[in-house]
Structure 1
Amino acid sequence: MTERPIQPVAFLFPGLGDPYLGMGRELYRTLPIFRACIDRCAALLQPELGVDIRDIIYPLGAFASEDAGLSGGGRDLRRMSRDHRASSIPEECRIHEARHAQPALFIVEYALAKQWLAWGLRLETMLGYSLGEYVAACLAGVLSLQDALSLVARRAQWIESLPPGAMLAVMLPEANVVAMLGPHLALSAVNGPEFCVVSGPPEAIARAERELGERRIATRRVHASYAYHSPMMAPIAPKVARLLEGYTLKPARIPYVSNVTGALITAAQATDPAYWSAHLCKPVRFAESLGALPSPVLLEVGPGQTLSRLARSSAPTMGARILLPSMRHDADPDSDMTVLGKAIAGLLTHGALPIGEDLFEAPPAAED
């Protein structure tokens, strides 16, 4: 009997979603490769952050086998993370500071991707949303892990030096949104045929929200304290370019899609520091990017299923492809391992994961 070929998979890496306390805690306890990657990244990040990022993500006992906050006793981390902006809990506030949130998201997504690769997925392409493109670039070999972590950490610290901003999802086509922007707002993302995100100073976003509400146009605030992917990022763009000039940038070994163009990244773009400074300020062309992914199975590798939902809303681009989230978010009633198990079952069902090995006794991941 001829074995069925393994279906190729595309990784989707979220970038603007909220991290949360205990993110991936059960994966850290259960999966050796995931845990080893988190530990390694934490050690590399320590000189940049001045703290152990594991103590930020898992403040109630990062390395113990028992965690009262996640096992039913003590403080409920899921409840704590629902409304971090109203929280006075120091741990809750710390993980949502950009300097911690962005490295935390990066290392959790990187570690989960390494775990999936160790299980034998046939990775064909990748698409990272905003910060998620840095994860894709690192896995593709454009940036070394150490350089990627340093870049993400410093970029986040520089973002914190910028004036506050806000972001608003608007249910209109791109052309209509661009026509209404005015001098203080910018297009930050095109997520679907009638789903864009605008950003700008908080007062300008509040005004736009009121005016669009009066016109009965649906809007929703994006959880962001800065105007990402807009000209408000421009003051730090030269710093990002200068930092990258000191790195060795290489063409991507694994294809991934550019947020800036909506097409597969070219060698010239990936290795140009100016591309990465433009990436900071230009809109994320997510809807176009989905069309550049040839893979039949799309696996979301990071907390929640924001990108899976966005992709489903872009039905004309998606065709009959399979969308699978693989990590819970804070509001998800299922455990980490339950969500992961559903993803494993989906991949097996669609022929995208090898059968026959004990997935939880995979060999150690190779060094980058």
Structure 2
Amino acid sequence: MAAGLYGSDAVFTAHMDAFFAGYGPDGAALRDVWLRPAPNPKLGDALLTQPLLFAVGQALGRAVAEWEGAPQVYLGHSVGELAAACLAGVFGPDEGGALMAARSKALGTDGAGGMLAVSAPADAMAPYATGEVAVAAVNGPRQTVLAGPDGPLDWTQLRLTEGGFTFMRLRSSHAFHSPVLRPAADRFAAVLGRVGLRPPQAELYSSRTARPVRADEAVRPEFWAGQLALTVRYWPALSALLDTEGTEPGLVLLDASVDNSLSAPVRRHPAVRGGATVVVPLLAPGTEGTPAELAAFEAAREQVLRSREGSPAQAPVS
């Protein structure tokens, strides 16, 4: 998770350190978990992984903003939406650590369960998203995630097998983005209510509404906290962004996910296939925690700078 940039990229390092300091007494231990080489079973604990995903996302964003011009549009997935909100100025980087510590505390033992990634469109999952099992995320045209308590989710697995679907159980101890997390969302909203939330200072797409966040929405604590219990509409949001802004040459899509999964579904989008949008991964899978990770990040910077110069070498990634 971008550990190879720590101690090498000054901006990234400074913002990671600030996050761990703001996280409170457990910040140093969380940093040690992050920096521990693989195998690292503690990263299977969502109460640790979620704040780290936020920290890495916002620190990468701050580092990218030091390039020639900050990003103009932000979109995040799940807890990454909070990182995007932080980068867009809804709340400050000095508040991120404390907010993520409060979010993990709000989660606690509520929402225990699991998640299933299914190779199917979201509408095909309607018969399976019943009772306590819900559509947790729409990640692509045929990438849908279901979530729910273990018992009902086990029953759903049997039904999916009978239906001939391909699916995989995700490594999650919580049924994120399902109704069972409503109590945790309410507790987190109470914490956000003590923060001076502000309208975004840059365009911010929401994976809750699949459109830009309005000023009146951004200042409501429940808008951000409620996403714990609601579907992540990442693919509809990304499609809306590309349909609106990807028709003119010059849009550069930066993928901050560790495994480049966030840009995978977009590579067949007409804006990318036609060359109007360029996809640039910030990290290279398999290089986590090594010097090669820094080299990949620097290569991404050079690719972005070339794309801004309109170099013919900047063909879309196919």
Pair in the same fold by TM > 0.5: yes
Provide, for residues 312-337 of structure 1, a one-character-per-residue CA deviation record: whole Å limited to 9, x for no partner: 36x25755422121123457798202
The whole-number CA distance in structure 1 between the counterparts of 2:108 and 2:223 is: 21
Contact conserved, 1:166 with 1:227, CA < 8 A, in 2?
A: yes
Alignment-mate amino acid for residue 44 of structure 1: G
Tell me, what secondary structure is at the counterpart of 1:179?
A: coil
Residue 15 of structure 2 aligns with which residue?
37
Residue 344 of structure 1 aligns with which residue?
301
The answer on 1:324 being equivalent to 2:280 is: yes
Residue 335 of structure 1 aligns with which residue?
292
TM-score by length of 2: 0.86
The whole-number CA distance in structure 2 between the counterparts of 1:148 and 1:348 is: 29
Answer with 1 or 2: which has the greater Rg. Answer: 1
Cα 1:331–1:227, aligned 2, differ >3 Å: closer, same or farther? farther
Provide, for residues 190-230 of structure 1, a one-character-per-residue CA deviation record: whole Å limited to 9, x for no partner: 12223211111123222222322232222122222111111
Structure 1 residue 149 displacement after superposition? 2.1
Contact conserved, 2:102 with 2:191, CA < 8 A, in 1?
A: no
Cα 1:304–1:173, aligned 2, differ >3 Å: closer, same or farther? closer
Residue 249 of structure 1 aligns with which residue?
197
Alignment-mate amino acid for residue 34 of structure 2: I
Residue 28 of structure 1 aligns with which residue?
6
How many residue pairs get matched? 301
Contact conserved, 1:324 with 1:343, CA < 8 A, in 2?
A: yes
Alignment-mate amino acid for residue 283 of structure 2: M
Tell me, what secondary structure is at the counterpart of 1:123?
A: coil
Residue 106 of structure 2 aligns with which residue?
158
Alignment-mate amino acid for residue 18 of structure 2: R
Cα 1:137–1:350, aligned 2, differ >3 Å: closer, same or farther? same
The answer on 1:305 being equivalent to 2:260 is: yes
Contact conserved, 1:231 with 1:281, CA < 8 A, in 2?
A: yes
Alignment-mate amino acid for residue 326 of structure 1: L
Tell me, what secondary structure is at the counterpart of 1:199?
A: strand
Cα 1:322–1:277, aligned 2, differ >3 Å: closer, same or farther? same
- Please list, as runs of the form range in 1=range in 2, the aligned pairs for 1:78-89 lying within 5 A after superposition: 78=38, 80=39
The whole-number CA distance in structure 2 between the counterparts of 1:192 and 1:123 is: 23
The whole-number CA distance in structure 2 between the counterparts of 1:171 and 1:316 is: 21
Which residue, out of 56, 65, 77, partners 2:33?
A: 56
Which residue, out of 120, 136, 150, partners 2:84?
A: 136
Cα 1:205–1:342, aligned 2, differ >3 Å: closer, same or farther? farther
Cα 1:260–1:335, aligned 2, differ >3 Å: closer, same or farther? same
Residue 182 of structure 2 aligns with which residue?
234
The whole-number CA distance in structure 2 between the counterparts of 1:99 and 1:166 is: 14
Specify which structure has the bigger relative contact order, considering alpha-carbon pairs within 8 angstroms and separated by 6 or more residues.
Answer: 1
Which residue, out of 233, 236, 241, partners 1:288?
A: 236
* Identity among equivalent pairs (%): 29
- Please list, as runs of the form range in 1=range in 2, the aligned pairs for 1:347-362 lying within 5 A after superposition: 347-351=304-308
Gaps of 5+ in 2: 311-318
Tell me, what secondary structure is at the counterpart of 1:292?
A: helix
Structure 1 residue 175 displacement after superposition? 2.1
Gaps of 5+ in 1: 1-22, 60-76, 81-91, 354-368
- Please list, as runs of the form range in 1=range in 2, the aligned pairs for 1:105-120 lying within 5 A after superposition: 105-120=53-68
Cα 1:56–1:338, aligned 2, differ >3 Å: closer, same or farther? same
The whole-number CA distance in structure 2 between the counterparts of 1:51 and 1:348 is: 35
Cα 1:268–1:318, aligned 2, differ >3 Å: closer, same or farther? farther
The whole-number CA distance in structure 2 between the counterparts of 1:130 and 1:286 is: 8
- Please list, as runs of the form range in 1=range in 2, the aligned pairs for 1:91-110 lying within 5 A after superposition: 92-110=40-58
TM-score by length of 1: 0.75
Cα 1:184–1:41, aligned 2, differ >3 Å: closer, same or farther? closer
Contact conserved, 1:297 with 1:352, CA < 8 A, in 2?
A: no
Tell me, what secondary structure is at the counterpart of 1:198?
A: strand
